[in-house]
Structure 1
Amino acid sequence: MAFQVRQVQAVWPNGKYESYRLHCFADAAAAKTFRDHFAGEAFDPKRDRENGKIRGSWRRTDDYRRILDLGPLRVPEILRS
């Protein structure tokens, strides 16, 4: 399963922002398998990154929520606010 890793700054309407690590797959089936395992979200650069700008932010339209659990990974209790 070959993929590339990219970074993107996700920005919500309320001004909150977080850095996200994107795992980019050429094969849609491999991407779905990875996303299902880690409970990830689909990212489409043309739709989600300011009309495809390379250095654009991921303009989120949903409500901000901290990621505490992500598939088999989790944030330790001591690091939660």
Structure 2
Amino acid sequence: MTRVDNRLADGAPMRPLSCERCAARVLVRKSSWQQTSVQWDAPAVAACAERDTAATAFEGCGALRETIRAAALTGAIEVVDGGGPAGRG
């Protein structure tokens, strides 16, 4: 069973989001344009195409990063700090 952390440390709960490439479903909180929290569960790890091909250390999924960026730009997920997308990350 996966424990979901919905504490409002920065004003917003984690929200589900599916990667546009492989449909891995993770929980995301975008605290600012520079800071993003991602919570993976076992099914998301298994579904991630980039994680599957990582030879050693996994440093993040580019496709998921782009999905999160697009979701933030369209308002599908909230960017808590309310600042503009300058310096988007």
Name the TM-score, length of structure 2 as normaliser: 0.30
Q: Which has the larger radius of gyration?
A: 1
Name the TM-score, length of structure 1 as normaliser: 0.31
| Greater fraction strand | 1
